[in-house]
Every structure is written in structure tokens, then in C-alpha cells.
Amino acid sequence: MSAIDFHTHVQPDAAGGIAFQQQFGYAQPRRTGTPEELLPLLDACGIERALMVPWIPAQDYVQQRLARRPGEADALRREVLDEWSALNQWAVDCVAKHPQRLSCLVGLDPILMGESRMREEVRDKLAQGACGLKIAPLFLGAAPSDERMAGVFQLAAEHGVFVLSQAGSNGYGEHPAWGHPRYFDAVLRAFPQVDVQLAHLGLGAEDEVARLTARHPNLYVDTSARLHLLGRPGEWTLAEAADWFRRFGIERVLFGTNYPMILPQHALKDLDALGLDEQARELFLAGNAQRLLGVAEQATV
């Protein structure tokens, strides 16, 4: 049975892939995170396609550089945004080289970019083959329900694409939990035509996610950074995971890994033990992702 990994952080080169992992606590990464590394790993697991998520903690980068170059805030903002635009461009170029194997999103920071630059970035990258938009509220200093974030969902509605967002009850460093699932209720009500994908099953706020999926047919969740932990002390058992999938609605759950931090084979190792029937298994591994990709392809034709 085929599968689609609907949440990966593939990087342009080994140095970038290692640095990306190190900023999130992986002191000695085992993988480089490049397409050249990923594609054979997908083949070995029977995964037909991966969704690349080009993203950087842009506001953090600006502040870190400002400490070394005080008084250059405007220049540093432009510098970091140019780097992000280059990463988005690399992603669509990579998809063009591997159209049957890779898809990608457009990474966005609506606050740092501003509406004009964000609108142009979205228009340009979607025209080149990107299939959706990506935000990480945890690093934006604003919840998805903040009026400064509305432009992301408005653009998704205009272009007929979905939005993938970081989600969870956790903060990170000095960042509060701006990605808590409770902040998405107003967004889902305001933009019922926009499909929203919450990463990591809404880590730590799964009860809220279940309430939201019951209320909003345009909400999906993905399993990135979760499946490899099943059965470990303090984590879900396999039976608990299967129960949560049912509570979310199996037609809303997307298979994702968070590669390169997580190997695809590790995310798939307990699949049989989850006890999903054939239809549920097909939806989880590929069918739900194909639905989102299909909507995006129709919208951008």
C-alpha cells in the first residue's frame, strides 16, 4: 500500500540540514536532510511522495543578528526574508526536478513579511508549483486568530490551497504557546473554505483537537514527530493512538514524519499493530493527503 509523508523538513544541502536539526536540540544529527538522502529512504519504505515544508524561525534570526549588528534592524529583516524567499525558491525548483516524488509549501511569516511581500511570495511560489502555505505561530509572536495572521488564510482562500500550521500546547524557549489548537476555532469558522492541517496532532492539546475536528470539516491533523514514540514510557500506547485516531476521525489524520529528525521507517514501524482496517489505513497513509493535494492542483490549474 502506497503512502505519502505529509510533513518533512528537507534542506538544500547537508550543512543546512545539520544546522536546522541542531537549532532544535539535535546536537549530533545522524542525517543530512537533503533530497538525495530522503528519496532512497522513501523507496525503502514504499512511500511514494513527500511534502517539503520550507521554514525558518525568521524573527529569531533577526534578533540574533541584531545583537551582533545593532542599528541594522531594517537591513537584517530584508536579509533574513531574502534567505527565506531563496529557501522557498529552492523548494519549488526541487519539486520541478522530482514532480512525481516531492511537493512543497510556501513558508510564511505574515508579521515580518508584511502583506505586500507575503502576497507576492505566495503568488510567485504557487505559480511555480507549491501546493499550500506554512506558518509556525510559536515563532511568530501571534496566535492564528490574531488579525495580523488573517492575510495567510485569506490568501489560501483566494488561491484554493490549504494551510499547514505548527500546533501544540507547548512553548519553546521564551516563546509562549501561540500555536495552541484553541486559537484555530475562530479561524476555521471565519474561513470554512480553507483546509487547515495542524502538525504533531496538536501536541499536548489533543482533547481540543478532537473537539475541533468534530466541529469543523475543514480541519486535519498530521502525525509528524509522534509515531516513533508510541509505546515508550509516558507516551501513548498503540491502543491509545488508535483510539485518538478514531476520536479525530481517521478521514482527518495525515501520515507525517518530521524528517530529518525522524526516519520514515521509524514512523511506520508500528503501523500494523495499530489495528487499522484496510480503508482506514489507506486514508491515513495516502488518501487524506491525496485529497488535499488534489484540491490544490485543481485550484492552481
pLDDT of residue 301: 44
> How large a percentage of the chain has pLDDT more than 70?
97
Pairwise CA distance, residues 260 & 214, whole Å: 32
Pairwise CA distance, residues 237 & 128, whole Å: 42
Task: Determine phi and psi for 270, rounding to 5 degrees.
Answer: -105, 15
Q: What CATH number is attached to the domain comprising 157?
A: 3.20.20.140
- The pLDDT-based confidence of 33 (bands split at 50, 70, 90) is very high
- All three cell numbers of 178, joined, read 501561540
Query: pLDDT tens, 121-170?
Result: 999 999 999 999 999 999 999 999 999 999 999 999 999 999 999 999 99
Distances (CA, A) of 81 to 60, 77, 116, 119, 235: 12, 6, 13, 13, 37
Element (H, E) at 96: helix 73-97
Question: Is 258 buried (19+), middle (13-18) or exposed (0-12) by CB count in 10 A?
Answer: buried
165: nearest Cα among 131, 190, 191, 134: 134
Beta-carbon contacts of residue 19 (< 8 Å; ≥ 6 apart): none
pLDDT of residue 173: 87
Query: pLDDT tens, 159-204?
Result: 999 999 999 999 998 899 999 999 999 999 999 999 999 999 999 9
245: nearest Cα among 181, 201, 291: 201
Pairwise CA distance, residues 301 & 299, whole Å: 6
HSE on the CB side for 189, CA within 13 Å? Answer: 8
Pairwise CA distance, residues 141 & 175, whole Å: 7
Q: Quick check: 238 and 273 in contact, CB under 8 A?
A: yes
Residue 89's domain spans which residues?
A: 3-300
- All three cell numbers of 174, joined, read 521564551
Question: 0.85 cut: is pTM over it?
Answer: yes
Count of domains observed in the chain = 1
Q: Quick check: 209 and 233 in contact, CB under 8 A?
A: no
Query: pLDDT tens, 214-273?
Result: 999 999 999 999 999 999 999 999 999 999 999 999 999 999 999 999 999 999 999 999
